[in-house]
Amino acid sequence: MHSHKPTEKSMAQFLAQVQAQEKRLHAERAEGVPALHRLLNVARGHTGQSRVIARFLLGLYNGTRFKVDLTDFRLLDQELFDDCVAVLRMDSRPEREVHQYFEDGGKIWEQLAEDWNVKDYTRDVEVKHG
């Protein structure tokens, strides 16, 4: 019977993979956090692109409540689209939720939903009594 004891080489490979992943996550946050700040500034604006960005940020905030139409990304200029991708990449392995990068973030995101009149899909659920 063979022992399944890790070898020095396999441990070194594992540690190298962990370090590479940590480095990638750090790079994603270094790119994603400034992109998130830029996107919030755009979402607080008054353009068609602002509406798309607001809905995107709300979808990341609470995807059950706020749905995102992916075809809306076609309306964005390249820089905004790239910022969305950077934030999405960062949020795929979140250190914290997107609204938590801001003081009073929950209030800010709820205000975005109100300002842009974004439908909250959880309010449509009817309680059926049997």
Q: Has residue 15 been placed in a domain?
A: no
Other beta carbons within 10 angstroms of residue 68's beta carbon come to: 16
Identify whether 72 is part of a domain: yes
**Kind and range of the H or E run holding 40:** helix 8-43
State the chain's mean pLDDT as an integer.
91
Number of folded domains in the chain? 1
Domain assignment present for 11: no
Contacts of 55 (CB under 8 A, 6+ apart): 66, 68, 69, 72, 116, 118
On whether residue 63 sits in a domain, the answer given is yes
pLDDT of residue 5 exceeding 80: no
14 falls within a domain: no
> Is residue 78 assigned to a domain?
yes
Query: The whole model's pTM is what?
Result: 0.82
pLDDT-based confidence at 123, cuts 50/70/90? confident
Q: What is the mean pLDDT of residues 57-61?
A: 98
